[in-house]
Structures are given as structure tokens and as C-alpha cells.
Amino acid sequence: MQTSTIYDCMLLTLPKNHQLNGNLTSITNSQEVPFDIKRIYYLYDVPGGNSRGGHAHKDLYQIMIALSGSFSVTLDDGKLKRNFLLNQPYQGLLIPPGLWRDLDNFSSGSICMVLASDVYDENDYFRDYEKFIDWKSKK
């Protein structure tokens, strides 16, 4: 099991191919991102005022991108919290394992794409904040 502090997460600036007829960003395994991408998922149609997240991962690395619109991400290592506003499709928030995350303030029509280092595995989740804090305190 992995653990991290909020200082281990960072906002990556992804390459942007800017042209008069629009922009393009591409992401290649282990180049712009520090892990092999095994899964992509995205959140969309989040009703106004709703939150997502509310969990931590034990081993999973993720990069979160606001493909469209904006939302905020609060990361919590059990001692300190750090808040990010994601609102640019060329920025990716690198979230290493062992950080609790809450996502809220989704703008209308926003899309949150997540690049993940592994397949979906419910056993990789902490969904109980007290259990997460207990685990962090033993690290």
C-alpha cells in the first residue's frame, strides 16, 4: 500500500497544439504522465450542487483533467488539505495513492476525465474517512 502527502500531488501542464482552428492536447503513456495508463473514465452530467469522490485509493495513481467546464478538487492527506480549481483541458492534476479527495462545484456541462494507473478494483478504495485516517496515522 502506498501513501502520500498533499505535497506529492501536482498540476501538470500538458502540451497544447494551438492552431487558429482549435487546440489539441495528446497524452502518451509514460511521457506526459508518470505511469502507464490502464483505464480512462469520466464524470459528466453531475447535477448542480452535487459532489463526487469521497474516498481515497491505496495504490492507484490518477490524473484528473477538466475536459470541459470546471470543478474543484480538495485533497486531504489526513493532516493537511489542498484545494485545486480545474478549469483548463491542458492541465492535469496528478493524484498519487493515499489521498482523500472530494470533488464539488461542478459547472454546468463540465466533464472530469480521469487517467488511472490500474483497472477498477473496489478493494483499492477507502470509502470510510475514519478508516482512512487510522491507516494514515500508522504510516
Task: Pull the grid cell for residue 58.
Answer: 491505496
Q: Contacting ligand TYD (CB under 6 A), which of 52, 69, 105, 135?
A: 52
Indicate if 55 belongs to the active site.
yes
Instruction: List the catalytic residue out of 16, 52, 55, 58.
Output: 55
The residues with which 128 forms a beta bridge, in sequence order, are none
Minimum CB–partner distance for residue 7 and ligand TYD (Å): 22
Shortest distance (Å) from residue 52 CB to ligand TYD: 3
Is residue 78 within 8 Å of residue 133, measured between CB atoms? yes
d(Cα 99, Cα 101) in Å, to the nearest integer?
6
> With respect to ligand TYD, which residue has the nearer C-beta, 20 or 119?
119
Closest-approach residue to ligand TYD (CB):
52
Q: Sign of torsion, CA 37 61 129 131?
A: positive
8 A C-beta contact, residue 16 and residue 90: yes
List contacts with ligand TYD (CB under 6 A). Answer: 39, 41, 43, 52-53, 55, 120
| Catalytic positions, written as ranges | 55
